[in-house]
Structures are given as C-alpha cells and as structure tokens.
Amino acid sequence: MKGWSTLRNAWCKIEDLATEINPVVRCWINYYGKFYQTKLKNFMREINLKIAKWGRSKYKEIRPSELKVIKWPKGLSQRSPNLFTHWTIGELPTGE
C-alpha cells in the first residue's frame, strides 16, 4: 500500500485511485480469500481508511469534520458500488 502513488496526490481523480488499487486488491482477494480470510478483512478496512484519508486531502468540504471524513466513503460506495473491487465483494465502508 505504501507504493500507491495516487494516495499521496490530491490532484488525481477517484477513478485514477481505483485504477491503481483494484488489480492489487483483486490479487489479495484471490489469495487471502482462500488462505487467510481474517487478514483479508483487515486489509479491506485499511484500504477504506486510506481512501477516506485521501478524500480528506482532496475535498475541502469534508476536511474540517472527522465525522464527514468517516461518512464520505460510505456515501461514495452507495453511489458507485462497483468503483473498488473490495466493495463489489461486500466489504463496504461502514461510516462509523
């Protein structure tokens, strides 16, 4: 996850972020889904947190409020449920 350059750039679009993350996450799902499902759930939660942190640096309207930062990925997942691979398998952000 440290090598994902789009997470450090607020100028990129959410689709660019999904394009970079999805192939790696798909591989994790294929491997850890068979051999280590609890670790996979931890990865998915961590990815959702990183997406929220990226959104905070990108969008000024959610920056001041920690609650908005937490709820932003949940709203995004409801509008675009197929944007990220791990959202398609049911690991949606909780917004809590």
Domain limits for position 73? 36-96
Q: Which of 61, 32, 34, 63 is nearest to 47 (CA)?
A: 32
Q: How does pLDDT run across 28-43, given as a tens digit for each residue?
A: 899 888 888 888 888 8
83 contacts 61 by C-beta, under 8 angstroms: no
Question: Which amino acid is located at 60 in the chain?
Answer: K
Asked if the structure places residue 8 within a domain, the reply is: no
Number of domains in the chain: 1
Q: Is the dihedral of CA 82, 46, 74, 21 positive or negative?
A: negative
25 contacts 84 by C-beta, under 8 angstroms: yes
Query: How confident is the model at residue 95, as a pLDDT?
Result: 63
Asked if the structure places residue 58 within a domain, the reply is: yes
pLDDT at residue 1 is higher than 80: no
pLDDT at residue 18 is higher than 80: yes
CA–CA dist 22, 19 (Å, integer)? 6
The whole model's pTM is what? 0.83
Q: How does pLDDT run across 53-68, given as a tens digit for each residue?
A: 888 888 888 888 888 8
